Structure 1
Amino acid sequence: MGTVSPVAGGHTIEGEDVVWLRVGAALEAVARREAARLAHRVGLSAQRIAEVELAVTEAATNLQRHAQDGSLALRVVTLPDRAAVELLSLDSGPGIPDLSRVLADGVSSRGTLGVGLGAIARCADTFDMHSLPGRGTVLLARFWSRRAEDADGAAEPAVAGLTRPISGETVCGDSWAARTEAGPDGQVVTAMMCDGLGHGPLAALASERARAAFRTHAQRSPLDIMRALHEELKGTRGAAVTVARADFARGTVESCGVGNVSGCVVSGGKRSALLSLPGIVGHHRQPSRSFQTPLDPDGVLVLHTDGLSDRWSPHDFPGLFGRRPATIAAQILGQAGVRRDDAGIVVVRPAAP
């Protein structure tokens, strides 16, 4: 998730800076401080800030005590009528065989009180978990500035993205943006995933230019958006980009891709790849055509850069594609991401639980 800006007939959501914190000796203290900073930024009350700090501390403690390796990701989520602090906890094992049991207060796998996960679930406005026994767990907790029942037309976001810079860098060359709009028969989401060539500040500059162009042209077709991106990225390193429009009522994804950003529709345990043409946006090949892919009502659209291995299968993630978009994005990034490159993923799924 990230910042939001109005577009006629809809709104755009853009990837925002993510604070990544690896497991380490001072994880609890650093995470609590960063979470409080973000909570103040979105205007949470003193009580809500205390609840955010509690949840982040519990999540950090769980990682320190139980995970083989892991990270916390903290960021701001913004919708037209409200904002939130979002916490994602990712680890690489050992996983949790029975999530319902560990969410019950008083249960622990190592003799501790076991109140941590239950406390997070009670404090958060949005809470979600997915675990792969033996492989890793993702926890999502979101704290809104306005409760859902108080927000005007508030709904769970249909799209979420997540980026992580290559080890040793503070900025990420991968970025994403999305536009949501209410169509005559249901929600339509147009998403962009951009991989600026290389990594570091120059790759990030190309991605920032791509987001700005998407923001201006988001209401147009994927092919027209890509042509606008191609013009905007001239003079930069260039990028690999895929733009895809998911219309769940009509049952189609229209996409236009140049370069090695992977795109697919996941449905019924199968993965249907989106076609992409070779080239570099801003340098080689003017985008020339778009493609149509069927989309079932329960389908999930996934776009990701080559900072994630493309060898994953929906069967590797039992139960994941019924979860919230942010949970799906975090689990795939956690399991398929590589630290020797920037990594970015965006997921579209309107029918969240």
Structure 2
Amino acid sequence: MEQEKIEASEKQESEYFISEKYSMDSFDVLGTLGVGTFSRVRLVRSKDQPYMKPLALKILKKTSILKMRQLSHLRNEKELMEQLDHAFITKILGTFQDDYYVFFVLEYACGGELFTRLKKLGTLPSQDARFYISELVLALEYLHDKGIVFRDLKPENILIDRSGHVKLSDFGFAKAISDSKTYTMCGTPEYLAPEIILGKGYGREVDWWALGILLYEMIAGYPPYCDDSPFNIYQKILLGRLVFPSYFDDILCSLLSALLEPNVQKRIGYKNNAASDLKNHLWFSNVDFNLLLIKECPSPWIPELMTEEDTSNFNTYPDSLEQPHAPKFTRERDPFVGF
């Protein structure tokens, strides 16, 4: 019953923000959740609907977007996220802009990043890792069925919601490729598949490789290929010498070997029934993916919150009142038209 109330509330909020036009004046700013190269994510609450739970507002500087030639990437991120509606993927509820910034209105995952939890605990028990990985399998399956490759799976891009379930976030590197290949080298060094490094073209199977890296890191506390130098990381990935800690059981090693297979055509997830092959692996034998999808499986950790506005699961950042120089455009030649 409580879960039904949560889902009804989320649907009501989504419908409100899609149907209404709003601006920065629509929100009260409650704090900062994160900062990036040219963005800042703030926790906000609607002034018109104060009874609704807080939201995340991603704020991106127009001058920095243009300087770093990221406008096409930003449009791509917006257009892809607007297509998505899945239990384990962060929802975009709307966008708007002013003279200085572009704003993404997103649902707020109050449990913070999986990275923060991993850093605090060091490692996860196998059963906890299985829960998070299983939900990510469903999220990636959904994206792949839509012809989208995520390309940046890592603990920093996985949020935990107020019920303890995952929310895949940050679609800056995601791309719609259908059945074609793409060649851009992007992502986090430790998580790059060999075919990305080699520049031979790749498809959605790189996400399954990254899932294997993530699973290894969850249970070992470090990724299988790591070094201070990205170049050395790439060399280790291409050498493909996968070494397992002694406490990894045979079934886990079997799954990791299938996910971290350098030969793309032999990697689990390469064929058309990729997710099905993965879900049928013995490591997932006790997982009911149907119950998992409707959030009927209990999470290993539910965030403890003092209030709905509690940001204790996020790092603390100094606030900023910086107002960058507004780019000058004529009405006919404004590249940000459409946000």
Q: Do both share a fold (TM > 0.5)? A: no
What's the TM-score once normalised by structure 1's chain length?
0.29
Higher relative contact order (CA 8 A, sep 6+): 2
